[in-house]
Structure 1
Amino acid sequence: MARSVFCLCPLGWAPWSPRIVESVALGCVPVIIADGIRLPFPEAVRWSQISISVAEKDVGKLGKILERVAATNLTAIQKNLWTESNRRTLLYTDPIQPGDATWHVLDNLARKRHHRSLRRRWSNQ
């Protein structure tokens, strides 16, 4: 993966595939082939700037799609892959640092819990 320009990331066993994060960590452009996928931390990562999404029905055209990307905006995508904020958001650190993957998981869980408690409060009134 580290020597590849593009890394195929088809739908995996989870709502999103670990291959996507592995690709980013290694500087390989993720080619996401999964209709309706929910990518991790969309509030912090601009996925359209660091990956390529290909509809499942267009897999047969993948070669032409990647050739077009290579000829037009590959350099910009690769530059965005190495942006510190994207990398920090997708990688786990020890100890936890603000903005790293663990921090985002905990933040999302806290917001979900807060949202549920607000709904309960409103439904009890």
Structure 2
Amino acid sequence: MNRDFIVVQSFSHLIDCFCPGSIHTEVLRVEQADIIRVTNERKYIVHNGWYCKAIVDDHYYFYIALEDLEHYYTKGQILAMEDIELNLNYLNFQIDQALDNKDESNFKLFSKQLMEVNQLKVKLEKHLDADKLFYI
């Protein structure tokens, strides 16, 4: 089963090369709203650990260390759909609190964040829906 993430915060990732001397090492720039699909295809590299195949926006394939993937996830740079849903619930709560407290600045701040997270959710939903159609 594949696992899809959406990039919330842009970052650069150093792609490891498995050749002797690491002659093909390159840096991949992952931008906000890119979708990263992590597949079940795995490799174990002695002295480096586990890697899994990842696909960025359905066109760039590479192997990423599970340790790196966990790092991006725990830093909040990539989110799964469940994380987006939780974030939306939190932002709605904050907006309600700002309205109750008549706090205009927090209302504007959280409303802006809510719109941004909603845009990410819509993009990820479209990707997931298109993927479902592909496998039917």
Fold shared by both chains (TM-score > 0.5):
no
Higher relative contact order (CA 8 A, sep 6+): 2
For the superposition of Structure 1 and Structure 2, which TM-score range results when normalised by the shorter chain? under 0.3
Larger proportion of strand: 2
Q: Which of these two proteins has the greater Rg computed from alpha carbons?
A: 2
> What TM-score, normalized by structure 2, do the two folds share?
0.23
Larger proportion of helix: 1
